Amino acid sequence: MTANTLMALTLLIPLTGAVLIALTGRNGNLREAVTIITAILLFAVVVQVAGLPTDNPRPVWVMGEMLPGLEISFSPEPLGMIFALIASGLWIVTSFYAIGYMRAHKEIHQTRFYVCFAIAIASAMGIALSANMLTLFVFYEVLTISTYPLVAHAGSSKAKRGARIYLGILLGTSIGFQLVAIIWTWVLTGTLEFTDGGILNGSASGVVISVLLVLYVYGIGKAALMPFHRWLPAAMVAPTPVSALLHAVAVVKAGVFSVLKVAVYIFGIDLLQQTAASNWLAIMAAVTILLASIVALRQDNLKARLAYSTVSQLSYIVLAAMLASGTAIVGGGEHIVMHAFAKITLFFCAGAIMVASHKTKVSELNGLGRKMPITFFAFFLASLSLIGLPPFGGMWSKWLIGMGAAETDQWVYIAVLMISSLLNIAYLMPVVVRGFFYKPGVGGMENHHQGDLFKKPEAVDPSNPVLPTVWKISKFEEAPLLCVASLSFTALGTVALFFYADVIYSYLLPIIAR
């Protein structure tokens, strides 16, 4: 197949999947089969696209002209392909997980859930492959809107409030800052193509460049740089598969990916080094890393704790971009992968715990590890990866970002990374410790009903099939097999990534070669 066909397929497959899911919505099993097949097909195609030459000249597929002189066009590029591979690959795992979770958790509107999910993945693919800033922006906004129904899924007043914050901050920052920056760039340079070495060089004064950088970085609200991070904890009202794939991988990674993309291909590393604002934004990223970790420490709700942890981890990548060093940027790209595997595992575990025991708070987890050993062990592995210990993938990306800080003589950020690792231990390990070493039965058994979050369907409905919430093996009471299998897979992935980090590294190297 030609490069153009392949790139077209990456968009068409999930969109067709969405239509088919909607059409087969009456029959739960058929619908889920469609989801899985779509996800597998998509991943296969993305692997093909990733195999295309990513050196110059890259193949470019022009889908059409949107405004005179401005095209919607796509092109495979190392950073984007890494993001696409992660999002599409983990979609397969998440789909399996979601089947177990949605059924055992007796969620309603499952068809809408799977349809929106597929559209969200399609827009993530659009972002990953975009060849210019306009294309990226278009799909960025589609992603925001298609995930809105997922966040508001439960329909309760709490979900509605969360979804309102979600939409408000993401639309507000993207229209209020990012769009302004894009149009300004277009007026200044007459192009929005992602170009090696950047396009802004020499087109405006230092002050304007600084303002633009701030507009871009804050305009990409999905990167959750403080103070525009509130949407991410708010989005945790969504069903856990959404939190896992979208708010630990696809959506947030679309954000930090866009930041990297803007840094490398709109500004260029050289220009970034000379821009005063990059120093300030690096400080802001460091502050976010530390503050969000501290806030995470204080969260009793497990998903909220993980959300703040994500806010903190995303800023590693923003920091990597703002250090304006090639090594750090490759490290940032690698951190997209490493964090994705670790964080999706953690969310899978949180969801499994919620399904099997209806526990949502860290303080209620005492002794639960003895009942759910696989889940808690997976949580342990993923935590270690997030902390950045060997032999887990998370070590390498931290290492590279730290190297980048050293290369550019910004030693203070190495200290920030180390303090952050310590904080990671402090907010993740209690979960494992409570699970395995505390005595069970202390606190919180009465908390079976989480209000309207757990709305149960009145009648048995073929489009909302249900599963038993617990999978009993001997004396253990794990979540359904599909959930446990998925989270074990991603947990093992964090280990595997330690050994294969080099592959990612050499794949990403071309982006800083010039």
Partner 1 sequence: MTSQLIILQVIVPLISAPFCVLFRNARLAWLIALVVSWITFAIAIMILGIVIDQGPVSYLLGNWQVPWGIEYKVDLIGAILLVLVSAIAAVIMPYALKSVEKEIERPRIYLFYTMLLLCLAGLLGIAVTGDAFNLFVFLEISSLSTYVLVSMGKNRRALTASFHYLIMGTTGATFYIIGVGLMYMITGTLNMSDLATLIPAVADNRTIQVALAFILVGLGIKLAMFPLHAWLPNAYTYAPSVVSVFLASTATKIAIYVLVRMVFTIFGKVEILDILPIRYLIMGLAIIAMFSASLIAIFQVDLKRMLAFSSLAQIGYILLGLSFDSITGLSAGIVHLFNHGLMKGALFMVAGAVYFRFGSTKLEQIEGLGKTMPWTMAAFVVAGLSMIGVPLTVGFVSKWYLMMAAFEQGYWPIAMLIVLSSLLAVIYVWRVVELAYFREPAATSQLKGGIAKQDPPLSMLIPMWVLSLATVYFGIDATRTMDIALIAASSLKGMMP
* Residues in contact with partner 1 by the rule CB under 8 A: 64-68, 137-138, 141-142, 145, 152, 155, 160, 164, 167-168, 171-172, 175-176, 179-180, 183-184, 186-187
The minimum distance between CB 443 and partner 1, in angstroms, equals: 33
Q: How far apart, in whole angstroms, are the C-alpha atoms of residue 417 and residue 316? A: 8
DSSP states along 177-193: IIHHHHHHHHHHHS--B
The minimum distance between CB 141 and partner 1, in angstroms, equals: 5
Length of the chain: 514
The DSSP symbol for 55 reads S
The minimum distance between CB 145 and partner 1, in angstroms, equals: 7
Q: What would the two tokens of residue 390 be?
A: 């060997």
Cβ(163)–Cβ(113) below 8 Å: no
> Which C-beta is closer to partner 1: that of 179 or that of 512?
179
> Which C-beta is closer to partner 1: that of 179 or that of 425?
179
The minimum distance between CB 295 and partner 1, in angstroms, equals: 27
Burial class (CB in 10 A: 0-12, 13-18, 19+), 420: buried
Question: CB under 8 Å to 433, separation ≥6 — which residues?
Answer: none
Which of these, 352, 333, 339, lies nearest to 487 by C-alpha position? 352
> Which C-beta is closer to partner 1: that of 174 or that of 278?
174
> Which C-beta is closer to partner 1: that of 148 or that of 396?
148
The minimum distance between CB 165 and partner 1, in angstroms, equals: 12
Q: How far apart, in whole angstroms, are the C-alpha atoms of residue 295 and residue 494? A: 25
Q: What would the two tokens of residue 361 be?
A: 């708070």
> Which C-beta is closer to partner 1: that of 187 or that of 509?
187
> Which C-beta is closer to partner 1: that of 190 or that of 197?
190
Q: How far apart, in whole angstroms, are the C-alpha atoms of residue 221 and residue 35? A: 29
Q: Which segments of 358-493 are extended strands (E)?
A: 471-473, 476-478
> Which C-beta is closer to partner 1: that of 459 or that of 513?
459
> Which C-beta is closer to partner 1: that of 160 or that of 298?
160
Q: How far apart, in whole angstroms, are the C-alpha atoms of residue 440 and residue 443? A: 9
> Which C-beta is closer to partner 1: that of 63 or that of 283?
63
The minimum distance between CB 174 and partner 1, in angstroms, equals: 10
Which of these, 265, 257, 268, lies nearest to 325 by C-alpha position? 268
The minimum distance between CB 365 and partner 1, in angstroms, equals: 32
The minimum distance between CB 128 and partner 1, in angstroms, equals: 17
Indicate the helix (H) or strand (E) that contains 430: helix 412-437
Q: How far apart, in whole angstroms, are the C-alpha atoms of residue 123 and residue 15? A: 9
> Which C-beta is closer to partner 1: that of 50 or that of 188?
188
The minimum distance between CB 73 and partner 1, in angstroms, equals: 14
The minimum distance between CB 154 and partner 1, in angstroms, equals: 10
Q: How far apart, in whole angstroms, are the C-alpha atoms of residue 428 and residue 382? A: 10
Which of these, 215, 183, 213, 218, lies nearest to 198 by C-alpha position? 213
Question: CB under 8 Å to 512, separation ≥6 — which residues?
Answer: 264, 269, 326, 327, 329, 330
> Which C-beta is closer to partner 1: that of 172 or that of 373?
172
The minimum distance between CB 67 and partner 1, in angstroms, equals: 5
CA 138 to each of CA 108, 235, 318: distance values in angstroms, whole numbers, following the listed order: 30, 21, 22
> Which C-beta is closer to partner 1: that of 168 or that of 373?
168
Alpha-helical (H) ranges within 264-325 are: 269-274, 276-298, 302-322
- 5-10, long-range: CB within 8 Å, 24+ apart, which pairs? 6/45, 6/48, 6/49, 6/52, 7/49, 7/59, 7/61, 7/74, 7/75, 7/76, 7/129, 8/61, 8/63, 9/45, 10/42, 10/45, 10/46, 10/49, 10/84, 10/88, 10/125, 10/129
Q: How far apart, in whole angstroms, are the C-alpha atoms of residue 144 and residue 323? A: 28
The minimum distance between CB 231 and partner 1, in angstroms, equals: 14
